[in-house]
Amino acid sequence: MVLTWRDLAIGIALIGLAWWALAAAVSNPAFPGPLPAADALARLLVAGELAAHLAASAWRVLASLAVSLVLAVPLGLVLGRKQAWDRVLAPAVYLLYPVPKIVLLPLIMVLAGIGEVAKITVIFLVIFFQLLVTTRDAARAIPVPTVLSVKSLGAGEGDIYRHVVIPACLPAILTGVRISLGTAISVLFFAETVAGTSGLGYAILDAWHRAAYSQMFAAILAMSLLGLSFYYIIDLLERWWCRWQYL
């Protein structure tokens, strides 16, 4: 379901209220209330500095998501359709899937440097497997008679993907993207605090070092704004591509 502005306003009001009450109870300069944070967010975004960090983070999430989708979706669709391939690759996937890829960050930085490539690579490594497994399971769940009935119309392998497999898996793929997005942002935060001088993770850590707490919360708010925008776009795409699911 696509978020309406009214739902969003209610959500923001609820979180704001809880935050305000909590901040009042804690009453510590390290934990400012929602108003000083929102004020800092507005000022810093306009000043451009936070906007640049936001853009850097958004780009990293987008790039790693794009690379993961381009590699995981086709592979997942094929593995879901071709049991023989899946039998060969599934053990490797299951061995690698649970390894916390974030532990590879130091190694990746040695190999790829501390720039964009390392950050995008580590996010990719984490979400690639989520997307692969989600897509494969969706492709595997397509009933055989559905495929056979379309084959009887003279459909080749390409037609089967175009008319059956891809549309059937699209809702699951978008759900996979939603789940991966949360993961991607957490991994991004970690990667940005470890190295580099750009991105919201860096901005949060930097503000913390300077004891600039409203700035720190402004960056945290920017991070939630980033996630929110991505979720909103995914919801819109789903509405558009998977209309048959919303009748």
Partner 1 sequence: MIRLKDVYLEYLTAAGPVAAVGRVSLEVAAGERLVFIGPSGCGKTTMIYLMAGLLAPTAGVIELGGRRVAGPDPRLALILQDYGLLPWKTVSQNAALGLAVRRMGRQEQREIVRPLLAELGLAGLEDRYPAQLSGGQRQRVALARALALRPAYLLMDEPLSALDALTREHLQELLLEVWRERQVTVVMVTHSIEEAVYLGRRLVVLSPRPARVQAVVENPGAGSPGYRASAEFHRQCGRLRELLDPGEQRQAAAR
Q: Which is nearer to partner 1, 25 or 153 (CB)?
A: 153
> Which one, 27 or 152, has the nearer CB to partner 1?
152
Residue nearer to partner 1 on the CB measure, 55 or 174 = 174
CB within 8 A of 189, min separation 6: which ones? 200, 201, 204, 223
Minimum CB–partner distance for residue 94 and partner 1 (Å):
21
Interface residues with partner 1 (CB under 8 A) are: 143, 145-146, 148-155, 159, 163-164, 167-168, 242-244, 247
User: How far is it, in rounded angstroms, from Cα 157 to Cα 100?
Assistant: 36
Nearer to partner 1, 102 or 166 (CB): 166
User: How far is residue 238's CA from residue 228's CA, in Å, rounded to a whole number?
Assistant: 15
Structure tokens given for 244? 């048959």
Residue 230 CB-half CA count within 13 A = 28
C-beta of 109: minimal distance to partner 1 in Å?
A: 43
Closest C-alpha to 210, from 39, 55, 218: 218
User: Contact at 8 Å (CB) between 130 and 176?
Assistant: yes
Q: Which is nearer to partner 1, 171 or 227 (CB)?
A: 171
Closest approach, Cβ 89 to partner 1, in A, equals: 20
Closest distance to partner 1 from the beta carbon of 75 (Å): 22
Please, which residue, 52 or 242, has the CB nearer to partner 1? 242
CB of 8: closest distance to partner 1 in angstroms?
A: 29
Q: How far is the CB of 165 from partner 1 (least distance, A)?
A: 11
Helix count (H) and strand count (E) of the chain? Answer: 11, 0
Q: How far is CA 239 from CA 1, 40, 75, 135, in A?
A: 8, 35, 25, 19
Query: 44 and 221 in contact (C-beta within 8 Å)?
Result: no
